[in-house]
Structure 1
Amino acid sequence: MKKQFEEVRLVYRNKTRAIDRPKIDCAESAYRILRANWDNEEISLFEEAKVLFLDNQLRLMSISTVSKGGMSGTVIDPRIVFAIALKRRSSTIILSHNHPSGYLKPSHADISLTRKFHEAGRLLEITLADHLIISEEGYYSMANEGHIP
């Protein structure tokens, strides 16, 4: 009797050549790309989380919206983020979420989430380069403020 099992294949095809992808080597460049890809009509309405997936040269491979929430919060599931990172063969990620209030200081939950992603990334050898909190007025970089080792 023949048993049927699912087969898993790893396949990745990036349609954009590496040389044509923007390099993200600082919080400012990440913020510019995120703002260009954020809906201006929604940034002050509800929380949303996006992740930038970078290759080992810090070139942008893709951007993914990983969560949409309410006015005061959204849930970012590490399993989903790291599944995407592994599938896209990303070696570095930059987390981001907005604060509809415009207040850019991180909450205790934001800092805890950043630490959680840093530790999970270490195990998978995927670097968490930064976690940006953004608004229409600007951004707060967890890396620049010492929240990421």
Structure 2
Amino acid sequence: MNYTDQSLREIFIDTKVIACVGMSKKPERASYYVSEFLKDKGFRIIPVNPVYVGQTLLGEPVRTSLTAIEADIEVDMIDIFRKSEDVLPVVEEALARFPNLKVIWMQLGIENAQAAELAEARGVTVIQNRCPKIEYPRLFG
């Protein structure tokens, strides 16, 4: 898919809360340093990883799943750090849990046509094989 710079800019401007699925606590992992970068840019990061439940990452308690995110938290974007073949259940859970979800973002190297089609049918913007840590500075300097 061809994403215009303007459409990507609008995603960042409209997004306030990002659930990072598959976030690691290891600073050298992309899922950590991308999430840390986004937090530093003012986004609220909700870490989702059942391995780290009971711990805190970037000032937020780690949730075991998207459905474990409190009902009063409205997530705008799901940033997925999982293998392409593991994306569909994440997207299905996201669509079921967040009726007002705006964006599903799949990191570099991650693509899933079936998941993208499902989300787009619900009016959710889908970005595949891109990284917000690369796009944000490119678009906003």
Normalization by structure 1: what TM-score? 0.37
Greater per-residue strand proportion? 1
Which of the pair has more CA radius of gyration?
1
